[in-house]
Amino acid sequence: MTTQAAQTATTTATARRAVPPIPTSRIVGVELRKMFDTRSGFWLLLSIGVLSVVATAAAIVFAPERSLSYETLTTALGFPMTLLLPMIAILAVTSEWSQRSGLTTFTLVPSRGRVIGAKAIATIVVGIVSMLVAFTIGAVGNVVGSALAGDDAVWNIGPAHAAQIVLGDLVGMAIGFTLGVVLRSSAAAIVGYFVLSFVLSGILLLLAQVREGFTDLQPWLDWNHTQVVLFEGETSSVQEWVQLAATTMLWIVVPLVVGLVLLRRSEVK
Amino acid sequence: MITVDHLTKRYRGATAVDDVSFAARPGRVTGFLGPNGAGKSTTMRVMVGLSPATSGHVEVLGGRYADLPNPGLAIGVLLDASAQHAGRTGREVLTIAARTMGLPTSRVPEMLRRVSLTETEGDGRIRNYSLGMRQRLGIATALIGDPEVLILDEPANGLDPAGIRWMRDLLRDFADQGGTVLLSSHLLHEIEVVADDLVVIGNGRIVAQGSKQDLLSTAGTVVSSADDTRLAGALADAGISASPSGGGSLHTPADPHLVGRIALAAGIALTELRSADSAGLEEMFLELTAESQRDGNVPEGGAAA
């Protein structure tokens, strides 16, 4: 028995050395695939494309005469994006718990931090690609729409503004991702996102109206506020960037770190 | 090889696993037996790092599970066949596993065939799978990395008799080729055919462990006669306890040879006399785990033993 055990130990040690660890790129690839290989994931992705086209068409049809511009279109495109992208971010995390597939995921990759990190990268990739698609659809819409109206297309969104819009949507996704990590339940995280993005901003706005001192404080606390400034492409001064950093720290970084610590210690059932 | 060393797991005061130690060896099928809630699944979850241990530790293949560079290639795990995204196809679940492990996706149809799922079934979504199909898919996921060790929690659940037979053969082959198999069940007869070693757990504690032969030889005798009441009396006079074991026969811890002699001496005609084997093991299992039985289903007279 002892020799047998010793033998097993040696062969095992060899096996352990011989097998290379799972590269992060592979985990990212798998996580990216998992975001869209279910029916719900597929429709969520498809609806981004479909709703972008619908929003663009609606903007062309309903825009008052001579007011169609690239900005009008990107604003119209912004609605489906700010709604759908955070949902994709939430489900990327929570489905492991709500659908219990985490049992397999975390058995195949025991480092939960790596899995969540891979999910974060995959989420950012999806966000950026979706935004590029939306900008492209908007650009086509702008060309077609102005041709229909017989005007020259108005290109009034510069690269800097476009980058801020992308950043704004990534902020929304990060909020969703954070909620997913903290709550680890699809339903709770989705409700949580609507509370944070609609109810909370309303409360903070109300507070700002009632308490005068709060008006100055609001941009430092309200992530919705800093996100809207990004969408408008008006985050320019140092103070505005610091405010963005402050709301990001408060609503994303701190809860994400706490959530990650809890997630790594939690039971996967 | 799996070594569980003084493992304890507590949840807010409740002890799910209490100082459990055992080993599952290469080339052998180890049956992990216990009633529902005895701590089998908890032990297995700690084994693969899904739950942290309160104290003690588990080694798989000579190290911690979490330190394995690519666990799927070393250990095949099936903890809960229903724990899969309902909207994914069976084929997709296997593809994800294969990709994570870095295996060619040609392994996927191969594994579907291995667990007797048809191509059409493989393309179906898991929400439409029967429990038996989920178990087959789970076993395919466990086997896809060609591991040395299998850890399976209640894999026979939901399988039909032919499926159970198929799984037994599969596990037997796996062990015969030098693999280590640990499989849990709350039904003795489900694993006694295939298991070489048994670990019986009740209420979070190990109540018996050893090779199946050793456990069976201590299982006692089943005896029936024209007059069981008199027989029981004769046995009691000889200082041997006996309890009704169902089907109109008596079960006693004494060996058949002795029981036969006592019956002869008392002039009682026996209609059956045999070593208890599985029936006895079942009895023992019920007795040993009686404390943790939810419905207090203690076999009659069993408490006296």
Least confident of A9-13, B75-79, B183-187: A9-13
Q: Final residue of a domain: which of B189, B211, B233?
A: B211
Contacts of A33 in chain B (CB under 8 A): 96, 99
Q: Which residue from A minimizes the CA distance to B83?
A: A100
Q: What is the pLDDT of residue B296?
A: 47
3-state secondary structure of A157: coil
The chain-wide mean pLDDT, for chain B, equals 88
Q: Please, which residues 69-98 of chain B have a Cβ atom closer than 8 Å to chain A?
A: 69-74, 77, 79-80, 82-88, 92-93, 96-97
Q: Is the pLDDT of residue A9 over 60?
A: no
Comparing alpha-carbon positions, the chain A residue that sits nearest to B41 is A269
Chain B residue closest in CA terms to A110: B66
A-chain residue closest to B80, CA distance: A103
B265 and B177 within one domain: no
Q: Categorize the per-residue pLDDT at B290 as very low, low, confident or very high, splitting at 50, 70 and 90.
A: low
CATH number, domain with residue B285: 3.30.70
Check pLDDT > 90 for residue A161. yes
Which of the four pLDDT bands, split at 50, 70 and 90, describes residue B57? very high
**CB < 8 Å to B141, chain A:** 104
CB B44 within 8 A of CB B151: yes
Domain extent at residue A98 = 21-265
Q: B132's torsion region: left (phi>0), alpha (psi -120 to 50) or beta?
A: alpha
Q: What pLDDT digit, counting tens, does each position of B127-179 carry?
A: 999 999 999 999 999 999 999 999 999 999 999 999 999 999 999 999 999 99
Output the domain CATH number for residue B13: 3.40.50.300
- Strands in chain B per DSSP E: 2-11, 14-24, 29-33, 55-60, 75-78, 149-153, 180-185, 197-202, 205-211, 221-225, 243-244, 250-252, 270-275
CA angle B285, B288, B292 (to 5 degrees): 105
Among B47, B100, B137, B146, most A C-beta atoms within 10 A, so best to mutate, is: B100
pLDDT at B292: 52
Q: Please report whether residue B227 resides in a domain.
A: yes
B199 and B69 co-located in one domain:
yes
What pLDDT is attached to residue A5? Answer: 46
Domain around B145: 2-211
Q: How many domains does chain B divide into?
A: 2
What is the structure's pLDDT at B153? 96
Specify if A218 maps to a domain.
Answer: yes
Is there a contact between A76 and A63 (Cβ–Cβ < 8 Å)? no
- In this structure, the answer to whether residues B205 and B221 fall within a common structural domain is no
- CA B215 to chain CA mean position, Å: 14
| Least Cα separation, residue B244 to chain A (angstroms) | 41
**Terminal CA-CA length for chain B:** 35
**B81 vs A104: CA distance, rounded Å:** 10
Q: Judge whether A15 lies within some domain.
A: no
Interface check for A124 against chain B (CB to CB < 8 A): the answer is no
Q: What integer pLDDT is reported at residue A19 of this predicted model?
A: 86
What are the pLDDT digits (tens) for B117-134?
999 999 999 999 999 999
pLDDT tens column, A126-159: 999 999 999 999 999 999 988 888 888 889 999 9
For an interface test with A, the pick among B80, B96, B137, B143 (most A C-beta atoms closer than 10 Å) comes out as: B96
Together in a domain, B206 and B221: no
ipTM: 0.87
Please check whether residue B129 touches A, CB under 8 A.
no
> Percentages helix, strand, coil for chain B, rounded to the nearest 5?
40, 25, 35
Tens-digit pLDDT profile for residues B194-245: 999 999 998 899 988 999 888 776 667 888 888 888 888 888 888 888 888 7
User: Looking at the complex, does the CB of residue A45 fall below 8 Å from at least one CB of chain B?
Assistant: no
The rounded distance, in Å, linking the Cα atoms of A69 and A222 is 30
User: Percentage of chain B with pLDDT > 70?
Assistant: 90
Percent above pLDDT 90 for chain A: 66
Task: Tell me if B305 is assigned to some domain.
Answer: no
Per the domain annotation, does A7 fall within a domain? no
